[in-house]
Structure 1
Amino acid sequence: MLIGNLDGMTVFARVVEEQSFSGAARKLGMSKSAVSKHVTKLEDSLGIRLLNRTTRRLSLTDAGSTFYLHCARIVEEIETAEHALTDLRGTPRGILRISAPLTFGQRFLPNVIADFMELYPGLKVDIHLADHMVDLVAEGFDMAVRITRLRDSSMIARKLADFNGQLVASPDYLAKRGMPRKPADLSDHDVIAYTNVPNPNVWEFEGTDGPTSVRVNPVLWCNNGEFTAVAAKRGLGIAAEPEFIIAEALHSGELVPVMPEYSTRLGGGIYAVYPERRHLPTKVRLFIDFLVKRFNDGLATEMRGPCAKINKVEHQGRDVLSDVLES
């Protein structure tokens, strides 16, 4: 009975992870009706209901919760075995699921992914762009590109590049309100806050006198850096932005640096992050190697634009235990 149910167990596990038949169908490349039939056949063979179905949502029965834990482990072992065989062939197969920040992904990843897929035509890519940090394991991602400072965790990270943060404002805003000279002056200015950080109302800096922080009074909050940069161009206030978002605006003069002698805590690194596993799938390893090469071959320079000299990434091949604050 087990061999006959392996397909059903795989489909059932994906339905639970996606919390819908349609989501599982999309991930598995199947029709929604086929997914439903697999689950129904599995329930019939086991003689027990695994899912409660309503028109609005799915939920696990008690038996389904217990069965899913075992299914997830079995499916993972099957995938590991398949990955091992793929390693022997040296050709990635299946679907590579990637999470990446919205603006960074839109600007810099389409060509990277297209070139990678041309190298490996047997591979499909499912990329999810969002500015919040996703749970790679719970949401079924193979890896993520993260732009942040690192924290210790069960994630593995490979550094791709460094990036800097910069306070900026429009010339019109500064002509009206004046140029702040030190972080404490920001309390008297309008600021635009990025909310995918632990405390968007407290900005931290490093200067000649060491670290300092200031509580700001935002006139606008947003969870997307592209949006806050446009708001700064329109003269709504001072924004803290990564250089890859504002490089062109700084070069054109639409935005100007504010207190450049103070470095912001916004800076950090760009990392390829993936769950700690006993066996890293070939598709993930090859894509990370491809990312490293692209950054070394000029993507880092493209990202920083004409505004700053690129720092070479040291220890390029080193994997470290890490977590990330935001995408």
Structure 2
Amino acid sequence: MDRLTSLAVFVAAVDEGSFAAAARRFGLSPAMAGKHVSAIETEVHARLLQRSTRQLSLTDAGLLYYERCKQILEAYDEAVREAGDIQTSARGTLRIAAPATFGEMHVSGIVARYLTDNPYVNAEVLLGDHYTDLLDIRVDVAIRIGRLTRSQLVTRRLAPCRMVLCASPNWLAQNGTPCKPEDLHDAPRLAFSEAVSEGNWTLIDAQQQAFTLKGPCRLLANNTQFLVASALAGMGIVYAPTFVLGEHIRRKTLIPLLPGYTPSELVIQAVYPSALHIPAKVRHFVDYLAQAFGDNPPWDKPE
């Protein structure tokens, strides 16, 4: 027999004063209600109720057991209510993973606004450029950039990740402005060492012909901001997302190269472990991300 049901029948029998009344509450026969209580007495090796034709009365052991059962059933009901609340209202701790640079530049403000609007939610944020298993690190939602391999994870598109090739005005003054990919054959590249998607440094012309730049790699770094600083210092050409370079392009401290060629476009996605029973805290946060970014994200808009 189901133990929780047996406890509930026992408590109901005491509260109602009879097996028949307890049975009606649970849609059972009086005989089945009696069997639930007998099963408990067999398990605890003690008589809990004195039966007579007119009433039920608790033994000393039964009184102690009844009080503890009431606490257990109340705790269970509270657990059910709390679990249901988490599904319907945003509460609890939201664990978020995001790429380091993107998280610092574009996610931190959204997290702050989300927490302000949802006072019953706390957040734990993990920033890093390695893909990690969401279940292993107990992450509720991850923001990932690139072409993801097929998996059981659920994804929601948040924004395009447009790439751009740039150099500083000083570098162009010393080396000339390139007109075609071949002009950059010997250009020193400032490259991200932990790219997770193929197609890096690939440009496509109007005829959909692809060109991959393979010049000497002057600098490798696992941080995009470091590469941008090196490009600003005139060390070479950098190929990076517009969510990093957009502000520098608007200020003209970095100049886009080969405007007639289109770099391969990636995608920014929210990723979570399952589509079943998604907690409200996750659904609402992903909605915040989608509304903040979209197909024309802020970093791609002119001033």
Normalised TM-score (structure 2): 0.67
Residues 91-123 of structure 1: per-residue CA shift (max 9 Å, x gap): 222211000111221122222112211222111
CA contact (8 A) 1:91 1:120 kept: no
Alignment of 1:39-188 (within 5 A): 85-87=84-86, 90-188=88-186
Computing the radius of gyration from Cα coordinates, the structure with the larger value is 2
AA of the residue aligned to 2:300: R
Matched, 1:303 2:299: yes
1:315 — aligned with what? Answer: none
1:256 — aligned with what? Answer: 255
AA of the residue aligned to 2:238: A
Q: Equivalents in 1 of 2:262, 2:205: separation in Å?
A: 7
Deviation for aligned residue 1:273: 0.9
AA of the residue aligned to 1:117: L
Residues 190-209 of structure 1: per-residue CA shift (max 9 Å, x gap): 11011122589963221124
Q: Equivalents in 1 of 2:197, 2:116: separation in Å?
A: 42
AA of the residue aligned to 1:231: S
CA contact (8 A) 2:159 2:297 kept: no
Higher mean displacement: 176-185 or 162-171: 176-185
1:213 — aligned with what? Answer: 212
Gapped regions of structure 1 (runs ≥ 5): 4-79, 308-327
2:272 — aligned with what? Answer: 274
Q: Equivalents in 2 of 1:111, 1:236: separation in Å?
A: 32
Structure 1 SS opposite 2:84 = helix
Deviation for aligned residue 1:252: 1.5
AA of the residue aligned to 2:257: V
CA contact (8 A) 1:117 1:123 kept: yes
Percent identity of equivalent pairs: 32
Residues 206-241 of structure 1: per-residue CA shift (max 9 Å, x gap): 112412323221100111221111111110000001
Residues 138-165 of structure 1: per-residue CA shift (max 9 Å, x gap): 2211111122234322221111112311
Higher mean displacement: 232-241 or 153-162: 153-162
2:187 — aligned with what? Answer: 189
AA of the residue aligned to 1:188: D
Higher mean displacement: 237-246 or 277-286: 277-286
Q: Equivalents in 1 of 2:82, 2:204: separation in Å?
A: 45
AA of the residue aligned to 1:205: L
Residues 127-186 of structure 1: per-residue CA shift (max 9 Å, x gap): 111122222122211111122234322221111112311100011111112222222332
Gapped regions of structure 2 (runs ≥ 5): 4-78
**Displaced runs of 4+ in structure 1, greater than 6 A?**
80-83, 199-202
Structure 2 SS opposite 1:154 = coil
Residues 63-115 of structure 1: per-residue CA shift (max 9 Å, x gap): xxxxxxxxxxxxxxxxx978851256x22222110001112211222221122
CA contact (8 A) 2:153 2:272 kept: yes
1:238 — aligned with what? Answer: 237
Q: Equivalents in 1 of 2:215, 2:135: separation in Å?
A: 36
Q: Equivalents in 2 of 1:202, 1:187: separation in Å?
A: 15
Normalised TM-score (structure 1): 0.62
Give RMSD over aligned pairs.
2.7
Q: Equivalents in 1 of 2:195, 2:81: separation in Å?
A: 39
1:247 — aligned with what? Answer: 246
CA contact (8 A) 1:244 1:305 kept: no
CA contact (8 A) 2:191 2:219 kept: yes
Q: Equivalents in 2 of 1:256, 1:231: separation in Å?
A: 14
Q: Equivalents in 1 of 2:261, 2:211: separation in Å?
A: 10
AA of the residue aligned to 2:292: R
1:225 — aligned with what? Answer: 224
